[in-house]
Structure 1
Amino acid sequence: MHRAVHPQRIPATRSCRVSAFRMTGAVVVALVVSACASYAPLPLDRGEGAAGVAQLVAPAADMPLPSLATHRFDPADGLDVTETAMLAVANSPALKLKRDELGVARAQAFAAGLLPDPQLSLGEDFPTHSGGGLSTAFNLGLGEDIGALLTRSSRQAAARSQAGQVNLDLLWAEWQTVAQARLLFDQVLNLRAQQARLASEQAALDQVGGHIHAALAAGNLTYDSASVGLNAAADVRKQQADNTVALHQADSDLHVLLGLASTAPLELVGAPYRVTPTPAQLQQALADLLHRRPDLLALQAGYQAQEAKLRGAVLAQFPALTLGVNSARDTSAIYTHGFSLGITLPLFDRNRGNIAIERATRQQLKDDYASRVLTTRSDMQRLAADLATLDRQHRALTVHAEQLADARRAAEQSWRHGLLDWPTWLAIRSRSLAADLDLLAVQQQQATQSIALEALLGNTDFDIATHPVSAQASTP
C-alpha cells in the first residue's frame, strides 16, 4: 500500500495543490492590482496671485446670484462693483479652499457607501518528517464583516448630509464673498474721495502758509498767533497720512479677495453698490429665514447628519458579527469544509460611550442652531433700525455740509478781498472739512450696514427654492 501510493499519488496531489494555490494567488493579485488607484505628484505653486485681471474669467453660469449671472463680465474697461463681485466668486483663494472641502466631503460620502472588503486567509502546514502517509496540510478561508453591512445605511445617510452641509456652507461663503467685494469696492472709492477732499484742503492751506511764513520771517507775526494756521496744515497732513494707510489696507484686502498679486493694477469704475431692503422685504425674509439662508440650511443638514450618526451608534451596540467559509486539508489528506462565526459579546462596552458622545453632540448642534436663528433675527432688526438712523443722519449732514460749503466759499472771497482775517477763514474751512468728512463717513456706514443687512436677509434677488443645492455625493 505504501509503495502503491507514495511514488505516484503524492506528486500528483502536490502538483494539484500547487496549481490551486498558484491559481488562487494569481486571482488575488489580479483583483488587487485592478483595484489600485494611480498616483501623480501635485507640486505646490508659489502663491503669488494673478498678475492682472485681463486673463481672468468669471463664467456667468458659476455665479450664485441672478444679479451676477445676468451681468456681462468685461474687465477691459475696468471693474464695476458687480464685475468685482463676480471676479471674487470666481477667483477668491478662500472660496477655492471651500470648494476643495466640498470635494473632500463628496469623497467621504462616496467612501461611506462602499462595501467592506472580504478577508481571504491562506495557510499551509508542513510535516516535520516524511513517511507514514503524511502530506502537507493547508487551509483556505473567506470572511466578511456583517456588522459593517448593518450600519452602512446610517453611514451613507450621515455622509450625504455632511456633503450637503458643506455644499450649503460653500453657497453661504459665496454670498459673503459677494458682500465683502461690494463693501471693499465701496471702501476704496470712499477713501479715494476722502483723499481728494483732503488734497484740495491742503492746496488751499498752502496759499495761506506762504503768508504765515513770510510774516514770521519779517517779525510781523508771533508763533502764538501763527499756531492756528500751522496747526491747521499739520492736522490736514496727518489726516492725509491716516487716510492713505487706510486706503492701502482696503486696496490690499480687495487684491487678496480677488486673488490678485499685490502689484496687479486694479481699475475700479462706476458707482458703489447701494441698496436698502424695504420693510416688506425685511418681513418676508424673516418669515422665510429658515428656508432661504444657506448657513441655516447647512446647520439643518449637519443636524440630520448627526441624527444618522446617532442611529448608527445605536445599531453598533448590537454584537458585531463576522461570517466566513473555509476549506482545509490536514496532514492525513482529509479534506474539510465549514464556516466560521465571530461574535463580540456585549458585556462591558456595548458602544455606550459612543452613543453618549453622539447624543450629546446632537444636543449641542440643536442648541447651536437655535442660538444662530435667534442671533440672526436680532441682527436683522438691529441693522434695519441702524439704517433708519443713519438715513436721518445723512440727510441732516448733507444740509449741514452744504451750508458750511457755502460759508467756506464766501469766507474765501472775503479773505481774498481783505475783508476777513485768515484765522477766521481757517476756522470756517476747518468746520467745512470736518462736515464733508463726516458725511463721507456716514455714507460708508450706510453702505456697510445695508450690504450686511442684505446678506443677512439672504439676498433678496435669490430664491433657494428655484436654485436647489445638490447634496448628492459624486464618485471621485
Structure 2
Amino acid sequence: MRRALSIASWIAFAGMAGCTTYHPQPIAPAELARQFGQRSLASEELHAYMARETGRDVTPWPPAAWNREMLTLAAFYYSPALDLARAQWSTAKAGIDVADAIPNPVLQLPFQYNTPNPGPGAPFTWGPSIDIPIETAHKRGYRVEQATHLSEAARLNIINAAWTVRAQVRAAMLAVYAARDRMAFLSARADAERQIAVMSRHRLAVGQYSQPDVDAAVLADTQAQSDLAAARSAELDARAQLAAAIGVPVAVLDDVTLDLAAFGTVPPAPPAADAQRAAIFHRADLLASLADYAAAESALQLEVAKQYPDIHLGSGYTYDTGTNKIGFGLAGITLPIFDQNQGGIKQAEAKRREAAVRTGALQDTILGDLAHALARYQSSIKALQLSDAHLASARRQLESQAVGFASGNADRLTFAQAKADYQTSETARLDAEVAVQQAAGALEDAMQQPLGHEAVSDTLSEEIPR
C-alpha cells in the first residue's frame, strides 16, 4: 500500500511541478492619476515608439511643431481605448492555448474495506488508476480554429479602435483650426464694429445720425465682441478635446505648437467605385465581422463532431485483499443514443445564421454611409467653390472702398463698414471650408482609408503594438 501511495504521490508532484504561481497586481486609483499627470509629448518612450512606427528618427525631439500624423501616433501610444483593444486581443490569443490544450488524465485512488474478508490478505481493496481521455472527430482542431478566428477578430478590433482614435484626433485638430481662424476673423470684425460704434456716436453728437442708427451700431459691436468671446471659448474646448483624444493632460498642449496646414488643402473626391472597393476591403469592422462568422462556422463543426463519442482509456494497479491486479482497457465511451447533440447543433446553426445576417447588415450600412459621405463631400466642395467666388467679390469691393477712402471719395465710416462686411464673408468662407474638412473626415471614416497621401495610414494595417 505504501508503494502505491508513493507512486500516486510522485504522479501528483510531477503534475504540480510546472504550475504557475499567482502574483497579485492591485490597482491604486491614486497611482493611475499620478501616471496620467506625468504623461508628456516629450517623453523618450514616446520618441522611441514614434521612431519605430515611422521607421525614421524624429529629430529634433520634441519636434518644433506637431502635425496630424505625429499627434495620431502619440494618441496610438497613450490612448486607453487602444490599450483596452490590445488587452482584449491578448485575452483572445490566450484562448487559442486553452482550446489547444490536451485533456488531462484523471488519477483515481479508490479505497475499500471488505468485511468479511474474502481473501488471505489484508481486508482492503485499493490502488491508483489513470483515466486517459482521447478526443475524436477533430474536436480539438475545431476548437482551435474557432479560437483563432476570434483572435483575428480581436486583432482587427485594434485597427478599428485605432481608426476611431485617428478620427477623434482629426476632428479635434480641425476644431482647433476652425476656432483659431474664426478668432482672427472675428477679432478684425470686432475692431471694425467698435470703430463704427464710436464714429456713430460722434455723428449723433453733431446731428448727422439718429439714435436708432447708433443703437444698431452698438448692437453690432456687442454681437461682434460676444462672437469673439465664443470663438475663444471654442478654441479652449477644442484643445481639451484634442488632449482627451491623445490621452494626455490639457496642460501638455500649452507649450506645443500645432501644425494645422493640412486643413488648408482639399483632396479631390475619389471615384465612387474606388471608394466602395476601399470600404469593402479596408474596413476593419467588416473584416472582424467576417472573422466572427468563420468562428461561428468552426463552432458548428465542433457541435457536429460532438455526435461522435470520446474514448477513455483506463489503466492501473489494484490490491484486492491479497491479490495484485494490473488493469488495461476502456474506462468508458459516451453513447450518443438520445439526441445526438441535436440541440447544440441547432443552436450553433442559429448563431451562424445570426453572424451571417450581422455581416450583411454591417456591409449594407457601410455602403449606405459611404454613398452619403461621398455625396456630402462632393456637394461641400461645390459650396466651398461658391464661397471662394463670393469672397473674391467681397475682396474686390473692399479694395474699391480702400481706394475710395484713400482718394477722399469715401468716408472713414463707410470704409470701416466695408471691412466689417468683408470679415463676415471671411467667416462664411471659413464655415464652408470647415464643412469640407468635416465631410472629408466622414468619407475617410466610411472607407477607413485616408484621402490623398498620409504616412499614418500605414500604421493602421498593423496590430499597432505599444
Provide the TM-score with structure 1 as the length reference.
0.80
SS in 2 for 1:451: helix
Aligned counterpart, 1:108: 95
Q: Distance in 2 between matches of 1:260 and 1:96?
A: 14
8 Å contact from structure 1 (residues 79, 268) kept in 2: yes
The equivalent residue for 1:246 is 234
Distance 1:129 1:62, change over 3 A: farther
Which AA in structure 1 matches 2:99?
A
Deviation at 1:84, TM superposition (A): 1.6
SS in 2 for 1:35: coil
1:44-59 correspondence to structure 2 within 5 Å: 44=28, 45-47=31-33, 48-55=36-43, 56-57=46-47, 59=49
Question: How many residues are aligned here?
Answer: 447
> For residues 189-228 of structure 1, what are the structure 2 equivalents within 5 Å?
189-211=177-199, 224-228=212-216
Aligned pairs for 1:27-426 (under 5 A) are 27-44=11-28, 45-47=31-33, 48-55=36-43, 56-57=46-47, 59-60=49-50, 63=53, 72=58, 74-126=61-113, 133-147=121-135, 150-211=138-199, 224-265=212-253, 266-273=256-263, 274=265, 276-280=267-271, 282-287=272-277, 289-319=279-309, 321-335=311-325, 337-346=327-336, 350-408=340-398, 419=410
- Give the drift of 1:312: 0.7
Asked if structure 2 preserves the Cα contact closer than 8 Å seen for 1:168 and 1:469, the reply is: no
**Unaligned runs of at least 5 residues, structure 2:** none
Give, in whole Å, the separation in 2 of the partners of 1:255 and 1:348: 62
Distance in 2 (alpha carbons) for counterparts of 1:70 and 1:452: 30
CA separation in 2, counterparts of 1:405 and 1:363?
Answer: 62
2:115 touches 2:123 (CA, 8 Å); kept in 1? no
Q: 1:277 to 1:39 in 2, by over 3 A?
A: farther
Q: Given the superposition, is the C-alpha separation of residues 236 and 35 from structure 1 closer, same or farther in structure 2, using an over 3 Å criterion?
A: same
Provide the identity percentage.
21
Residue by residue, what CA displacement relative to the aligned partner does 1:176-213 show, whole Å, maximum 9, x if unpaired? 43343233222211211101211222222233344556
Give the secondary structure class of the aligned counterpart of 1:143.
strand
Letter in structure 1 aligned against 2:291:
A
Give the match for residue 6 of structure 1. Answer: none
SS in 2 for 1:86: helix
State whether residues 81 and 271 of structure 1, in contact with CA within 8 Å, keep that contact through their aligned partners in structure 2: no
Sort the Cα spacing of 1:132 and 1:364 in 2 relative to 1 into closer, same or farther, 3 A.
closer
Deviates more, 1:254-263 or 1:432-441: 432-441
Do 2:176 and 2:238's aligned partners in 1 also have CA atoms closer than 8 Å?
yes
Structure 2 residue 431 is matched with structure 1 residue 444: no
Is the CA contact (8 Å cut-off) linking 1:307 and 1:362 kept in structure 2?
yes
Offset of residue 411 of structure 1? 5.3
Distance, in Å, in 2 between the alignment partners of 1:316 and 1:468 is 40
Contact 1:383 1:449 (C-alpha < 8 Å) held by counterparts? yes
The separation in 1 between residues aligned to 2:171 and 2:415, in whole angstroms, is: 37
Structure 1 unaligned spans of 5+:
1-16, 472-476
Secondary structure of 2:101's aligned partner:
coil
In structure 1, C-alpha distance between the alignment counterparts of 2:236 and 2:99, rounded to whole Å: 48
Q: Describe the shift of the 1:349–1:219 C-alpha distance in structure 2 as closer, same or farther (beyond 3 A).
A: farther
Deviates further, 119-128 or 152-161: 119-128
1:137 and 1:333 in contact (8 A); partners too: no
Q: CA RMSD in A?
A: 3.7
Cα 1:194/1:470, change in 2 over 3 Å: closer
| Structure 2 Cα separation of the partners of residues 427 and 148 of structure 1 | 88
Q: Which amino acid aligns with 1:276?
A: P
Deviates more, 1:304-313 or 1:238-247: 238-247
My pick for the range that moved more, 435-444 or 398-407, is 398-407
Shift of 1:409: 6.1
Structure 2 letter corresponding to 1:384: L
Q: Deviations over 1:374-421 (max 9, x none)?
A: 332333333232222222211211221233344456657878979559
TM-score, reference length from structure 2: 0.82
8 A Cα contact 1:216 1:223, kept in partner: yes
